[in-house]
Amino acid sequence: MNRTFRLLLANTVLIAAGAAAVASASAAEVVVIAPSAPPPARYEAVPAARVGYVWDHGHWRWDHGRYVWVAGHWQAERVGYHWTPGHWVAHGSNYHWVRGHWA
């Protein structure tokens, strides 16, 4: 009887841990919606090309009720993929941020 109880307890703990892992993975996606269009993009001089990297241009980030400029940076290249920079998309009267990603 004691062994059965321990097995039941161990299974319960494993199921709870699995559910927590699934919940945390799905909560990792952050949706950013701004109530107004971002300002025009700032001019940034693109540095000379680097082998094994692609340039991710700067962009406006919505932060605590206002836009803040984020400078461009290098992304490590993924062979066989194309880098799609992050961008704002109009959605009704709001703007939705689409994160940069490899496609």
Q: What is the CA radius of gyration of the chain?
A: 22
CA-to-CA distance for 59 and 67, rounded, in angstroms?
Answer: 10
Q: What is the mean pLDDT of residues 26-34?
A: 74
pLDDT tens per residue, range 34-86: 999 999 999 999 999 999 999 999 999 999 999 999 999 999 999 999 999 99
Q: Where are the domains of the chain?
A: 1-30, 33-102
Segment among 5-19, 21-35, 41-55 with least mean pLDDT:
5-19
**Nearest Cα to Cα of residue 34 among 13, 56, 61, 11:** 61
